[in-house]
A and B are shown apart, each in its own frame.
Chain A
Amino acid sequence: MADRPQQPINGGPHVRADLFDASFLGRVEQLALLARRTATSGAQAHRRSKKIGAGLEFAEHRDYSAGDDMAQLDWALLARSDQVQIREYEEEEDLSVYFLVDHSQSMAVGAEGEISLLDRALQVAAALGYIALSNLDRVSVVPFAQGASAPMRAVRGRGQFFAVLRALSAIEPAGKTDIRQAIDDFVRHQPRPGLVVLVSDFFDPQGLGDALRLLAYRGFEPMLLHLCDQQLLQAGAYGDVTLVDSETGELCELTLTPALMAEYRHAFTEFSAEIERAARQVAARCLQLDVAVPFDEAVLKVFRQGGFLG
């Protein structure tokens, strides 16, 4: 990862050119258009956090209490029904979208010559971030591994896309995965509640349930993007191997046989089911994305099946 090329794109000094090149940007733009078309076709695309306050749209009446602004008194109602009611209006807020990107060592493992999980995670996060920015949402990127860094300052508007890209480009693989600790760190910074998109392989020995429950308790809406590499599950070369855990460095000697690979695939399927179960418990959506699938297809899948921003 250290030798990944970083070239300035449109003035951004630290944007990775290998991931976020011109074609990437073009495809992201197309994705944004597709997302907009999806929004006008019936599904609600704009999500707003509702807050009763000084908005323009009427929300409800409430009883007058001493100290209320007399300007908000509903004089017409008072005249008509002799009730003293205060008019309340709905105040619209921007949605905050947090991309929590797992950058642990396990995300850097991939078949030789193929894109790693981390790179795919960055691409997907970038594309979704662009769409969110286009939607005038506030976007923030939070890398995490054993813990979470301070969230990037939330940005809004399409013009801030390169700030998002720079933040993503700065992410390097390091550390072990501890999602619970990462969520703890994340919520400690008291970010505004919003959509939390967890992009990870979720290879955490501690499990995922506590972290998701904490997020839900704090008013966040979690969305899980489970990245996996199916090629690793189909190891073509069998034989005697020593498996090295990419995060802990632990060794495990075994002989890869077709039977053992079938067992492993079965175990992985169970592992994926556990993640989905944990997501369902907090009414979160969970999508599995294969790294072999191009990022734009993955993003569309997130839209169509995952209901991103929907």
Chain B
Amino acid sequence: MPTSELQAWLTRAVAALLALVLLHLLRPRRRKVEVPFGGLWRRVLGSVEARSLGRRWQRLLSFLMFVAFLGLLLGAQLGDLLHPERVVRPRRQGSTVLLIDRSASMATRDGASEAGPVARLDEAKNRAAQWLDQLPPDEDVLLAVASGSFEVCAGWGSDRQAIHKALESVTASQGGMDLNRAVRSAAQMLQGRPGARLLVASDGGLPLQPLETAPVPLQWLWAGPLGAAGYDSKVPYVLANLAVEQAAIRAQADDPDRGVLTVQVRNDTGKNVRARLAIFAADTGETTGDLAKDRNLRRLVDVQLPAGATTVQVPDLELVDARFAVRVEPQHPDLIDLAHWDDWGLAVVAAQRRLKVLWVGDKNHYLDAALAATGRADVQRVAPADYHPEAWRAVDRARHGIDLVILDGVLAEAPDGLATWRLGLDLARDATQLAHNPEVLVRAADHPAMRGVSFQDTNFDAVRLLPIQSGQKVLAAASLGGGRSAAVMLASEVPVRQLTWGIDLRETDLVGRYALPILASNALAWLAGEDQPLLQPLELGRPWAVDAPLPTGSWQYREPGQPPRPARLSAGQFVGSSEAFGLHQWTHISGETVVRPTSLPPSERPTALLHQGEGVRDRPVQAASDTGNNWPIYMAYLVVVLFGLLLEWTAYLRRRTV
């Protein structure tokens, strides 16, 4: 007897034993009570006419009913355990085309898995391999891939090893996918074969056209941000995704007590969609979840969203509350937005926004006091020995929790993509020159970092003279006499904003002057980018085009984590695509710079009108949604059992005997 069959029998035996034990425990038992004179009781029973057959059996019948209900309930719950063949039902000999989407979007790495970002294609291949392992051995399988074209990788056969090998060799292409054409091609391959079935492993992101009715039973193996819950072919509505890309709140020029909420919304449905923006506001709360309460709802705005990205401005919002959350949702009830996690955006009035600051350096009471005086810095201090930029970059990417980094007297790299504020006298190994007791003058009073600041009568015991590099702006300089001066404070915006102070707060009486808290406040605000306009983010894994200020000339493109390379220009736009997360930067030879951040990993959604034909009924593995669909049945069982118990209790109260 095979081991699996033996295990099944053992399972049944254990279940039967448990049932017997349960019945034994639940059997009706009566306490024995000794009475002095049974005759009196018999007289009582005779007088109440309680010895009818129905009453005698009432108790036993109700007990049997209860056991039956309980058995049904347990049977429903344990059905899959006792009858695994119901989950993996042997199929008759059939033919399956396994169609793998190898379009460019399948190369996108999603961060949903615990092991880290996984390319959608790898996920699709893993699921397809699992499916293959579950298929009956006599099932004929054909492996095909599709992007721009339909290609067969492994022909009809039941040699699983060959299919697995071919599956391993599938790689993503650079093009998109015509799903309709691929399905039609697969259907042709299945024509005339018994038990025809088409299995599509895709992220469903492209194309945006409605999916035609498939000529063969079609089932999806989902590989994308939707996760394992997958795709129910019986759902008769359109799946779509609307997402809030970015949200910002600014005071209106004519009324500082009112603001304009600028919301950047993405519509992935490929068509115009009527949507609604729900705007919430509160004076506390750090997340959208904190704000998403009915009492915080401030306004509902109906908008028409064309396909792609749209910027919506909602004016005249009272700035009594500093924090605003906005949610986008489709208005049409048949339009289901499957990705709820990207429907929210959070905007905070700049002056009231708390900044998360990573401070690397030793204890510095002066800097500590200056940051505290700004009233908006949540500081996390890390000793230089414990600071590793790579680790903090990973934390930042996972949490998006740090706005800027302060490197106080530390010769270390800043995490990529984070604004940095360096200060101290040991700022760079090649900056060897120190100046003692110099006169320091503000050189860029109009710069946001220097507004309202003067160093008049401020003494500096020592300052570091900083070499000026390309793209850096001198904020303050030390007068060296003889008309010479050298930079002491620098600012740069490429690739991210950086402030560099050749000043040690322990070597100056600046700490005793009102200029320091102003400087600190300016520095935080500028580094946090609050004066920046909204930048159009780039979507990972998708082709994009960014307007180039100068259509001609030599542009260098710097992709995060990659060395600079010549930029690709087409019709006055930078074109390309990238999987790299961070700031993308184009630099012209003239110094002109264009910077675009990438958004969070996008959530491509199927926009196809769903197939209404016969679906594949037997799934190789039970999806999580299957369990959820059984709950109504379980609840019905529960209601029946409760009703039975209620009847039993009522009968108990009414009856005299059995």
Contact = CB atoms under 8 A, between A and B. Distances in A.
Interface of A: 106-107, 109, 117, 201, 203, 205, 229, 232, 235, 237, 239-248, 250, 252-255, 257, 259-260, 263-264, 267-268, 271
B34 A254 contact: no
Given A232-B36, A245-B37, 11 more contacts: A109-B34, A229-B36, A235-B33, A240-B28, A242-B31, A246-B35, A248-B38, A250-B38, A253-B658, A263-B47, A263-B656
A281 to B, nearest CB: 22
21 contacts: A232-B35, A235-B33, A239-B31, A240-B31, A240-B658, A241-B30, A243-B41, A244-B32, A244-B38, A245-B38, A252-B41, A252-B42, A252-B45, A253-B657, A255-B655, A257-B655, A257-B656, A260-B44, A263-B656, A267-B40, A268-B40
Interface in B610-658: 652-653, 655-658
A172 to B, nearest CB: 16
Interface string B15-45: 0000000000000111111111111111111
B59 interface: yes
A175 to B, nearest CB: 13
A254 B30 CA distance: 9
A245 B29 CA distance: 19
A263 B41 CA distance: 9
B42 A271 contact: no
Contact of B33 (A242, A259, A267, A268): A242
Contacts of A240: 28-31, 59, 658
B48 interface: yes
A260 B36 contact: no
Given A252-B45, A254-B45, A242 B30 contact: yes
A107 B37 CA distance: 10
Contacts of A205: 39
A196 B65 CA distance: 59
A107 B656 contact: no
Nearest to A105: B36
Contacts of B34: 109, 243-244, 246
A84 B534 CA distance: 154
Contacts of A264: 40-41, 44
Given A232-B36, A264-B44, A254 B31 contact: no
Contacts of A117: 36
A260 B35 contact: no
B32 A255 contact: no
Given A241-B30, A241-B32, A242-B32, A254 B656 contact: yes
Nearest to A106: B36
B28 A260 contact: no
A186 B652 CA distance: 49
Given A240-B28, A240-B30, A255 B36 contact: no
Cβ-closest 6 pairs across A and B: A245-B38, A203-B37, A106-B36, A254-B657, A109-B36, A240-B30
Interface in B44-61: 44-45, 47-48, 50, 59
Contacts of B36: 106-107, 109, 117, 201, 203, 229, 232, 246-247
A117 B35 CA distance: 12
B38 A267 contact: no
Contacts of A203: 36-37, 39-40
A240 B657 CA distance: 8
B48 to A, nearest CB: 6
Contacts of B658: 240, 253-255
B48 A243 contact: no
B30 A253 contact: yes
With a 10 A CB-CB cut-off, give which of B32, B37, B45, B652 has the most chain A CB atoms: B37
Given A205-B39, A241-B32, A267 B656 contact: no
Nearest to A265: B44
Nearest to A205: B39
A102 to B, nearest CB: 11
A232 B36 CA distance: 9
With a 10 A CB-CB cut-off, give which of A106, A201, A229, A243 has the most chain B CB atoms: A243
B44 A106 contact: no
Given A241-B32, A242-B32, A252-B42, A260 B657 contact: yes
B35 A255 contact: no
Nearest to A255: B657
Contacts of A235: 33
Contacts of B656: 254-255, 257, 259-260, 263
Nearest to B33: A241
Contacts of B39: 203, 205, 245
A2 B422 CA distance: 99
A243 B33 CA distance: 5
Contacts of B48: 260, 263
A1 to B, nearest CB: 14
B44 A263 contact: yes
A259 B651 CA distance: 13
Contacts of A254: 41, 45, 50, 656-658
A246 B59 CA distance: 26
A267 B653 contact: no
Nearest to B658: A255
A260 B51 CA distance: 13
Nearest to A104: B36
Contacts of A252: 38, 41-42, 45
Contacts of B32: 241-242, 244
A257 B31 CA distance: 14
Contacts of B35: 109, 232, 243-246
A248 B251 CA distance: 98
Nearest to B37: A203
A139 to B, nearest CB: 28
Contact of A255 (B40, B47, B59): B59
A237 B31 CA distance: 10
B489 to A, nearest CB: 89
Contacts of A248: 38
A255 B42 contact: no
Contacts of B44: 260, 263-264, 267
Contacts of B42: 252
Nearest to B651: A255
Nearest to A201: B36
Nearest to B56: A253
Contact of A271 (B40, B45, B657): B40
Contacts of B43: 267
With a 10 A CB-CB cut-off, give which of A229, A246, A260 has the most chain B CB atoms: A260
B42 to A, nearest CB: 7
A9 to B, nearest CB: 30
Contacts of B37: 106, 201, 203, 245-247
B46 to A, nearest CB: 10
Contacts of A245: 35, 37-39
Contact of B652 (A229, A243, A244, A255): A255
A18 to B, nearest CB: 21
B255 to A, nearest CB: 76
Nearest to A245: B38
Contacts of A267: 40, 43-44, 47
A22 to B, nearest CB: 31
Contacts of A246: 34-37
A255 to B, nearest CB: 5
Contacts of A229: 36
A253 B32 CA distance: 9
Nearest to A116: B36
A242 B59 CA distance: 14
A101 B655 CA distance: 39
B328 to A, nearest CB: 62
Contact of B38 (A232, A241, A243, A257): A243
A201 to B, nearest CB: 6
Contacts of B38: 243-245, 248, 250, 252
Interface string B265-278: 00000000000000
Nearest to B655: A255
Contacts of A259: 656
A244 B653 contact: no
